[in-house]
Amino acid sequence: MFKTMLPPVRIVVALSVATLTILGRTEFAPAQNYATSDNQSGYVHWIELRDASGRTIAPDDDDAPPYSPQQTCGRCHDFNTISHGWHFDAVEQSSRRGRPGQPWIWSDLANGIHMPLSYRDWQGTFNPDKLEISRWQMAEKFGGFLPGGGPGSAASLEHRPEFKLPTWKDPKDDDEPETDGEAVTPEHFVDLSNVTGELPVDCMLCHHRPGSGYSPFAWTEQIEDRNFAYAPTVAMGIGTVDKNSLRLKDDFDRAEDADKLPKITYDAQRFRHDGMIFFDLVRKPSNDSCYYCHTNISTDTATGGRWLHDEDVHVRAGIACADCHRNGLDHETVRGFVGEQHPSASAESFSCQGCHLGSDGSGTVAGRLGAPKPLHKGLPPLHFEKLSCTACHSGKLPSDTLPRQFNSIAHRLGEHVRRNGDEAPGIVASALLPLDWHPPTTAEGDHSDDDSDVEASGHPSAKLTPHRMMWPSYWGLLTDSGIQPLNPEQAREIVRKGLRTKRDFTEDLAKVKLSSSQKKEALGDRYRTKEEEWTEEEKAKVESLTKKLREEQITEKMVKALKELEEGFPESIAVYITGGQGFALGEADDLRELSADELGDAAEPYAWPMAHSVRPASQSLGIGGCTDCHRTDAPLFATQVRPVGLLPDQETEAFAISNIQGLDVEKLSIWNSMFDGRSVFKIFGLIALGLTCVVAVSACAVNLSSFWRR
């Protein structure tokens, strides 16, 4: 018996190995199984292309399959470790929620839908699973701006949510659906993964060398064509496809209808005589790779204002995005804020504070990448308790209003289209709000697993930080329990007949073309006169009539859409949410605005912290003195925030940003007013001090004179 027992040392070793195996995701395990070159000059990648089954691809094969990054790159790199980083694990229930960040925005331009989505359940976002949006739909919608995997991974595509949303019942259909006791999959839940396959992780999307010929735009186009598996091949420029998968239906059988699949034609000149192909890649992703998904620019670039804007001061100094937002093999990218809980190591030195100031408590030493240490001469320490670094140094300087911004993913930047700066969704920045801000009605939620410091709880004491902000637009149902948003695809199918908007919800609702009879009503006998010959009075008449007809048209179409919803949901009140307001059917077949009690928090904006672009110290907030911020009309507290709605001529109510900063506005006003006369007070104080000194010196002189006389 004793001979069969393992020695104690072996038991310890066995337990250690088992522990490492169970944990799996450690920094050290991959190095034991995969060879590395470890030379800072990099490794020249002449390698074989392999398909999804692991077989080597012959480029001259008429039926050559697309190459698989997992099989091609995974021979030397630990794919399982790589594919679970921050950019891939949003759908995993075990992933960290993290500090609120940029959401996926589900946009349906024609039907007025713009919903911020996140699987991380950030306050103010909608969870796609709860909206019964399939993982495949998320991959199709946003995969063009993902490195692959995520919602489109094989494991994720198997997920099925609990179908709890109310089902729209066609009033013309009296038949009840046959369920056989099983849950019925609603029509709005679409899964064509049997056609497209999984969304492959494409390493080259981030790691291609600029100028190598790799095109992220081609990647996006292939995802939109549902050519998931073909996207890496086409994006890398080593092959072309002759078809797309858009026409293939959910009953498609790959075995029987293989000839209907897209066909790859490889560029034979890209291959060496031994079948190897050159991957022109870099270890550290370039800025351009990051910009493809993370571009945030002012909307005035659409009107020629791009040349007036400067790049981030760090980029201008030669620091790359990945120098600060770096990661190990696990691809857990450092987000770079104070209090970040990184799974691999301390990331504090990659925050603004850690890099420039260091931290005595954690032993973080300042000066990474040659970062200068700011002196902040004359700045009271209280400012460091109330303001984040980015409050003074990032984004545009506070102004009277919040300007709008374009975002790569939300506005599909990269597509060659005409833009005017008013494109939806309307994202505004920089709104200085408490870090991890939430609307008052949701601020009391559970944020226990937020990946941020204790002060970042949405409480007024949290540091003011610049945020981007958007207001959701969607169709929903008002019930006794509040407003329930509808699945966007379900809503589209119901309301589109009533709206009859083809391309752009706002533009199409506002578009009014006067008939000859209507022009005659406004202009009389001059209705045939050319527009450029109209008098000012005639222009005013036409404009007044157009406005009246536009209001009637908006009401008519919106009422039809809401009625369509209520016919299928007879026990609920159909509503449309946009611009911080809600609308429902009125008693006289018109639109009525929902009351605050009816609306609840359904129309509240979603805001997420921002850090870039960083301005130089000479352009920081406060460089002009205390009154940059401490005066009665200082934009820091007086910036006017106007919700962005989609209904034409919608009148949203602007408010001072101080109303949502969690501050005592009355005390703030009194405090700021004291700074208006501060300079005069200092002058009078110095004069008074001078006079006091003169009197004191005179008194001393008199006393000394009396003393010497004795």
Through-space distance between the first and last CA atoms of the chain, rounded to whole angstroms: 115
| Residue 7 pLDDT exceeds 70 | no
pLDDT at 533: 84
pLDDT digits (tens, 9 = 90+) for 164-190: 888 877 777 666 555 555 667 888 999
Q: What integer is the mean pLDDT of 90-118?
A: 90
Higher-pLDDT residue of 106 and 452 is 106
| Residue 454 pLDDT exceeds 70 | no
Higher-pLDDT residue of 361 and 594 is 594
Give the span between the Cα atoms of 350 and 385, in whole angstroms.
20
Q: What integer is the mean pLDDT of 36-45?
A: 89
Q: What integer is the mean pLDDT of 682-694?
A: 88
φ, ψ at 380 (rounded to 5°): -60, 140
pLDDT at 362: 66
Give the span between the Cα atoms of 355 and 326, in whole angstroms.
14
| Residue 443 pLDDT exceeds 50 | no
Domain extent listing, the chain? 335-472+606-673, 480-599, 684-710
pLDDT at 445: 42
Higher-pLDDT residue of 338 and 245 is 245
Give the span between the Cα atoms of 328 and 25, in whole angstroms.
11
| Residue 659 pLDDT exceeds 70 | yes
Q: Pinpoint the alpha helices (H) of 570-642.
A: 596-599, 635-638
Q: How confident is the model at residue 453 (pLDDT cuts 50, 70, 90)?
A: very low
Give the span between the Cα atoms of 541 and 9, in whole angstroms.
95
Full-model pTM: 0.87
Unique residue bearing structure tokens 């080593």:
238
pLDDT at 394: 94
| Residue 652 pLDDT exceeds 80 | yes
List the structure tokens of 309.
Answer: 């804007």
pLDDT averaged over the chain? 87
pLDDT at 301: 85
Give the span between the Cα atoms of 525 and 513, in whole angstroms.
19
| Residue 680 pLDDT exceeds 90 | no
Give the span between the Cα atoms of 50 and 70, in whole angstroms.
9
Q: What integer is the mean pLDDT of 142-160?
A: 94
Q: What integer is the mean pLDDT of 463-483?
A: 95
Give the span between the Cα atoms of 187 and 158, in whole angstroms.
18
pLDDT at 180: 55
Strands (E), 12-133: 45-47, 104-108, 113-117
pLDDT at 476: 97
Q: What integer is the mean pLDDT of 498-521?
A: 92
pLDDT at 174: 62
Question: What H or E segment, with its residue span, contains residue 277?
Answer: strand 277-279
- Going from the C-alpha of 71 to that of each of 51, 87, 264, the distances in angstroms are 7, 20, 18
185 backbone φψ class: left, alpha, beta (φ>0; ψ -120 to 50): beta
pLDDT digits (tens, 9 = 90+) for 382-440: 999 899 999 999 999 999 999 999 999 999 998 888 899 999 999 999 999 998 787 76
- Tell me which residue of 474, 471, 470, 472 sits closest to 610, measured CA to CA: 470
Quote the Cα angle for 185-186-188, to 5°: 130
pLDDT at 206: 96
| Residue 685 pLDDT exceeds 90 | no
Give the span between the Cα atoms of 389 and 411, in whole angstroms.
28
- Going from the C-alpha of 686 to that of each of 476, 648, 668, 679, the distances in angstroms are 65, 58, 27, 11
| Residue 71 pLDDT exceeds 90 | yes
| Residue 588 pLDDT exceeds 70 | yes
Q: What integer is the mean pLDDT of 272-288?
A: 95
Query: In the 8-state DSSP scheme, what is residue 430?
Result: E
pLDDT at 103: 96
pLDDT digits (tens, 9 = 90+) for 12-35: 334 343 443 433 444 444 456 788
Query: In the 8-state DSSP scheme, what is residue 413?
Result: B
pLDDT at 37: 86
pLDDT at 354: 86
Kindly give, in sequence order, each residue whose CB lies less than 8 Å from that of residue 467, ignoring residues fewer than 6 positions away: 429, 430, 431, 432, 433, 437, 607, 608, 609, 610
Under 8 Å between Cβ of 410 and 107? yes
- Tell me which residue of 407, 207, 406, 212 sits closest to 289, measured CA to CA: 207
pLDDT at 692: 92
pLDDT digits (tens, 9 = 90+) for 518-572: 888 888 888 888 888 888 988 898 999 999 999 999 999 999 999 999 999 988 9
